[in-house]
Amino acid sequence: MFPVFCPFLAPFKGSVARSTNFWCMTIFCLRNTTHRSHSNSDSTGLLYAEAMSLPTIWVFGDQLNRGIGALATATPLTHRVLFIESAAKISSQKWHIQRAHFIVASMRKFAHELRSAGFQVDYRMVKSMGQGIKEHVREFAPSEIVATEPNSYASRLLAHDLGVRTVSSNQFLCHPSE
């Protein structure tokens, strides 16, 4: 096996060096077989003008469920879905290599499931979450961006700073404000 350069997992050099090549190869192969850098806007019968003004639902890596928050009432004709795979987010803390792989693979699989259900999915691999939002807005000009309220305080602040409207999460028995 030859080493594969994987900038997404660069923070994991060192203690997991032996397993890094395996996981880089896995993510490299997964990316080449399932990743689409832009939406599949041809999958619905929407006109171009209608598709450009659809509201966007931003899905975080810990919200991969159609029954929660903003995705609960979404349909392929009423919403576009945005996933952002951010190098800055992954490198912001020490992640176990398998956990990082699990999160990324789960996001990609859920994006594929939504595409199969007819949703327009914009899956972005960028340096930061802010860059992903800016690129999405520049390309699609959504009427608004909505997200299920993030579970972490830092992500809630980020969503607020980026002008993303949040809806309450029903992932847990009670809300953090209770």
What pLDDT score does 2 carry?
Answer: 39
Task: Check pLDDT > 70 for residue 169.
Answer: yes
Q: What is the pLDDT of residues 122-158, one digit of tens each?
A: 999 999 999 999 999 999 999 999 999 998 888 999 9
pTM comes to: 0.71
Asked if the structure places residue 175 within a domain, the reply is no
Asked if the structure places residue 7 within a domain, the reply is no
Task: Check pLDDT > 60 for residue 48.
Answer: no
What is the total count of domains within the chain? 1
How far apart (Å, rounded) are the C-alpha atoms in residues 77 and 80? 8
- Which CATH number belongs to the domain containing residue 91 in this structure? 3.40.50.620
Asked if the structure places residue 176 within a domain, the reply is no
Q: What is the pLDDT of residues 101-121, one digit of tens each?
A: 999 999 999 999 999 999 999
Asked if the structure places residue 162 within a domain, the reply is yes
CA quadruple 133, 134, 137, 139: dihedral sign = negative
How far apart (Å, rounded) are the C-alpha atoms in residues 110 and 60? 11
Number of other CB atoms surrounding residue 146 within 10 Å: 21
Structural domain harbouring 98:
12-167
